[in-house]
Amino acid sequence: MSGLSRRELLLASAASTGGLLLGWFQAGPRVAAAAAKGASTEFAPNAFIRIGKDGRVTLIMCQVEMGQGTYTSMSMLMAEELEVGLDQVKLEHAPPDDKLYANPLFGDQETGASTSVRVFFDPLRRAGATARTMLVAAAAQTWKVDPASCQANRAVVTHTPTGRKLTYGALAEKAAKLPVPTQVALKAPKDFKLIGTPAKRLDTPAKVNGTAQYGIDVRLPGMKIATVAASPVVGGKVAAVDDSKARAIKGVRQIVRLDDAVAVVADHMWAAKEGLAALSIRWEDGPNGRVSTADVVRGLAAAAQSPGVVVRNEGDAPAAVAGAPKKVESVYEVPFLAHAAMEPINCTVHVRPDRCEVWTGSQVLSRAQGGAANVTGLPLDKVVVHNHYLGGGFGRRLEFDYVTQAVRIAKQVEGPVKVIWTREEDIRHDVYRPYYYDRMAAGLNAGGQPIAWTHRIVGPAILARFLPPAFRGGIDIDGVDGAEQLLYAIPAIRVEYVRHEEPVLNTGFWRGVGVTHNNFVIESFVDELAAAAKQDPVAYRRALLSKSPRATAVLDIAAQAAGWGRPPPDGRSRGVSVLYSSWGSYLAEVAEVSVSKVGEVRVHRVVLAVDCGTEVNPDTLKAQAEGGIIFGISGALWGEVTLENGRVQQSNFHDVRVLRINETPAIEVHLVRNLEAPGGMGEPPTAVTAAALANAVFAATGKRIRKLPLERQLRSG
C-alpha cells in the first residue's frame, strides 16, 4: 500500500495531462481558440481569459463562489502567469459548458470535493501563460525584437533594452491574430508574486454593502414569486388539493399542482407563503409513510453482519484480531444531516415555447442545464443558465432537484417565476448526509500496540447515483475515503464496504463528505485503543505514524501549540484527531472542551495544524479552517435529522441547532509551508473536528461517544 488512493492516482494523472481523468471523460479544461467568435478587437486565447481593446481583462470563473474563496484563488492562478494585478481584473461567471469548463476529476462542470485548486492549479496557470506569451509575441512583432527581450508586468509589455511599452489593450487586436501556442513555460514557484501571498478576496466589496447578487436576488420584469410544498415523504404524491382559501388571498395568482408537490404563485413571497399555509393538501404517502429512523438503523445493522467488498487488505486482519492478546470492538453510528445553507433553496425560471432561462446558484451548472432541458424537452442550446453567487453550498447545491422542480412549476406559469423554498421546506427536503454504521475491531499486542485493524463501513453509495462511472467494483470511493488511506502502521489491515441503501430519504454530499464520517470513526477508535493500552493519545498516534513524516509534523505542531502534555485549564479536557485522505492534505487538531453536569459541551479552544501543500491564498486557507471547524462543531454536537412516519422531524434553526458567535471557541490555525502538490482545504477542517471533540469529551467524562450527535448521547446517559 503506497498510501495513495486510486482517486489520488487519477488526480495525479489529471494534473499531468490536464485533462483525461476517469477514463470515460475526454474533454477536460482545455485551451480553446475563440476565433469563431469573430471579435477581432477582443483577445480571447482560451475560454478563461478575454482582453478587450480597452485593456479590460475579464477572467471567466469556471468554479463557482460559495464562500470558499475560489473566485480569488482561480483569479490568482491566472493573474500570476498572465502578469496582471488582481486589481486589474473583472470576473465573470462561466456559463454551463462541459467541453470548456469541466472539472477534470468529475468530467463535468462541478465545484465540490475540495478540488478547485487541486485540479485547476496547472490548467489555469497555463491559460494565463498562454495569453501572456501571445501578448508578448505581439509586442515583439510590433517592435521587431526578440520576445525574450520583452517583459510583461501589470498588463504592460516592456521592451527591456529600450524601455518601450505597450499595454495589453493596445496589443489585444494583434495578439488575437497569432496562433495559440501549444506549449508555454510556467513560472518556477520562487518567481510567484501572487500565489502564496494573502490576497484580498475579489467578491467581498459587494458582499458588505448588499449589492452582491445571489440566486434569490434575481428580479425580472413581470416575475412572479412562488413557494412550494413537496410531499413530506420521499416517494409520496399529491392525492387532493383544496385551494379555495388560498385563491382568495390577495396577491395569489395561481396554484400549480405537480404530481409530488404544490406551488403557490403570487406577486410576492408573503402572499405565496400565506397561500401555501391556506392550502389543504392530502398526500398519498406511498411505501415510506411509516418509516422511522429506527427502521433505517435496523437495516444498516443487519447489513453490517455480512462481509463487504474489500477495499484494502494487508495480512489476515480478522484472524490477527481474533488471536490477539487483547481485542477491542466497537460499533459507530453517524446520523442524517441537513446542510442548512443560509440562502434557502431557490431557482428562477422563464419557460417559453422555444427557450428556457434559469437563474440560480449551483455547484453543477451543466447538470442544472441538462435537468432543465429534460423537463422542457428543449435542446441544450435553448436552455440558458445564469449562475450567481451561492449563499452557501456545503454540498447541497451539488444537486439540481430544485432546478428541475422550478422548471416543472415554470412550465405552467406565464412569464418568469422565482421559486423560493421556505426554511422549513429547505430542511425537510434536503439531500442529506447519509446515516452510516461502522463496525470496528482491533487486536493489540502485550505492549498495547495494534497488530490488526478491521473496519467495515455500511452505508449507501452516493457515487453510484451521482457519478455512476466512478462507482466501480462495488466500492463507493467517497464512502471509504479516509478509511482506505489509514496512515497508521499496523501489520494487518482490512477495510470493507457494504453498500446498503435505505431509500427513505435522499442522500448526498455534506461538507467533508465521506471523510467526515470515517474520520470520526477512525480517530475515535484509535483513541479507544490508546485508552485500552493506557497510553497518551498523542504519543500513541505518533508511534504509529513513523512512516508519515507530514502527518507526524502536523501532529507535533498541533500538540505543542495546544500545550498537550501540560494540564489544561481547570475544568477543561483535550482531545486530538489526525486526518489524511484523498484530498492530499494532512491535518491534526486538538480541541479543548468542558462538559457540564447535564451534558452540555462547551468548546473553548481548537488548535489546527495543516499541511495542504502549495498555498494559493493563505488567508483563505485560514478562513476555510476556521469555518470548517465551526461547521464541524455544529454537526458533531447537535446535528441530526430524524424521521417519523417518513417525515423529517426538524424544520428550522430552533431544532437544527448550529453554532453561534457566543458559543464559538478560540481557533488557532497553523499552516505548514511547502511546495508539495496542493491539497484540498474546503472540507478537511470539518472532517477532522468531530473526533477531536468526542475524544475531549472522553477525557472529560470517561464516556466514549460512538454515536453522534455528542450532546444527545451525553444526555441519554
Partner 1 sequence: MALDLHSLDAMLTLRINGKSHKVDAPPDMPLLWVLRDVLGMNGTKFGCGVALCGACTVHLDGIPRRSCVMPVSAAVGHAITTIEAIGATPIGKKVQQAWLDVEVVQCGYCQSGQIMAAAALLAKIPAPSDADIDQALSGNICRCGTYPRIREAIKRAAQTRTAERGS
Whose Cβ is closer to partner 1: residue 251's or residue 599's?
Answer: 251
Single out the residue of 151, 213, 412, 649 in contact with partner 1 (rule: CB under 8 A): 213
For residues 427 and 648, the answer to whether their CB atoms sit within 8 Å is: yes
Is the omega angle on the peptide bond into residue 104 within 30 degrees of 0, that is, cis?
A: no
Does 658 sit near partner 1 (CB under 8 A)? yes
Going through 612-715 in order, the beta strands assigned E by DSSP cover 643-644, 647-648, 666-671
Single out the residue of 37, 177, 290, 660 in contact with partner 1 (rule: CB under 8 A): 660
For residues 629 and 685, the answer to whether their CB atoms sit within 8 Å is: yes
Neighbours of 537 (CB within 10 A): 25
Encoded amino acid at 179, one letter? P
Whose Cβ is closer to partner 1: residue 154's or residue 200's?
Answer: 200
Residue 490 CA, chain-centre distance (Å), reads 31
Does 165 sit near partner 1 (CB under 8 A)? no
Does 430 sit near partner 1 (CB under 8 A)? no
Q: What angle do CA 29, 35, 40 make, to 5 degrees?
A: 130
Whose Cβ is closer to partner 1: residue 46's or residue 72's?
Answer: 72
Does 561 sit near partner 1 (CB under 8 A)? no
Does 200 sit near partner 1 (CB under 8 A)? yes
Single out the residue of 145, 212, 532, 543 in contact with partner 1 (rule: CB under 8 A): 212
Single out the residue of 270, 298, 305, 569 in contact with partner 1 (rule: CB under 8 A): 270
Does 222 sit near partner 1 (CB under 8 A)? no
Scanning 162-170, 374-382, 417-425, 475-483 for contacts with partner 1 by CB under 8 A, the matching segment is 417-425
Whose Cβ is closer to partner 1: residue 220's or residue 384's?
Answer: 220
Does 391 sit near partner 1 (CB under 8 A)? yes
Residue 365 CA, chain-centre distance (Å), reads 15
Does 630 sit near partner 1 (CB under 8 A)? yes
Scanning 111-119, 214-222, 474-482, 706-714 for contacts with partner 1 by CB under 8 A, the matching segment is 214-222
Alpha-carbon distance of 203 to 187, in angstroms, equals 26
For residues 373 and 408, the answer to whether their CB atoms sit within 8 Å is: no
Instruction: Count the residues of the shown chain that bind partner 1, applying the rule CB under 8 A.
Output: 65
Contacts 24+ apart (CB under 8 A), 264-272: 264/226, 264/227, 264/228, 265/224, 265/225, 265/226, 265/409, 265/413, 265/417, 266/224, 266/225, 266/226, 267/224, 267/225, 268/225, 269/225, 269/227, 269/420, 271/225, 272/225, 272/226, 272/227, 272/420
Alpha-carbon distance of 301 to 414, in angstroms, equals 50
Whose Cβ is closer to partner 1: residue 22's or residue 515's?
Answer: 515
Length of the chain, in residues? 717
Residue labelled with grid coordinates 392530502: 282
Whose Cβ is closer to partner 1: residue 536's or residue 626's?
Answer: 626
Single out the residue of 117, 170, 249, 480 in contact with partner 1 (rule: CB under 8 A): 249
Whose Cβ is closer to partner 1: residue 123's or residue 361's?
Answer: 361
Does 600 sit near partner 1 (CB under 8 A)? no
Does 202 sit near partner 1 (CB under 8 A)? no
Alpha-carbon distance of 497 to 476, in angstroms, equals 8
Scanning 87-95, 311-319, 370-378, 390-398 for contacts with partner 1 by CB under 8 A, the matching segment is 390-398
All three cell numbers of 271: 402572499
Q: Which helix (H) or strand (E) holds 551?
A: helix 549-562
Whose Cβ is closer to partner 1: residue 426's or residue 484's?
Answer: 426
Whose Cβ is closer to partner 1: residue 273's or residue 703's?
Answer: 273
Of 316-375, which residues contact partner 1 (CB under 8 A)? 340-344
Picking from 164, 153, 165, the residue whose alpha carbon sits closest to that of residue 191 is 153
Beta-carbon contacts of 225 under 8 Å, excluding residues fewer than 6 positions away, are: 265, 266, 267, 268, 269, 271, 272, 417, 418, 420
Does 422 sit near partner 1 (CB under 8 A)? yes
Encoded amino acid at 11, one letter? L
Does 479 sit near partner 1 (CB under 8 A)? no
Scanning 59-67, 189-197, 350-358, 407-415 for contacts with partner 1 by CB under 8 A, the matching segment is 59-67
Q: How far is the CB of 687 from partner 1 (least distance, A)?
A: 14
Of 272-291, which residues contact partner 1 (CB under 8 A)? 273
Neighbours of 506 (CB within 10 A): 14
Chain residues in the site for partner 1 (CB under 8 A): 65-69, 200-201, 203-214, 216-217, 219, 225, 248-251, 267-270, 273, 340-344, 389-394, 420, 422-423, 619, 623, 626-631, 652-654, 658-662, 664, 666-667
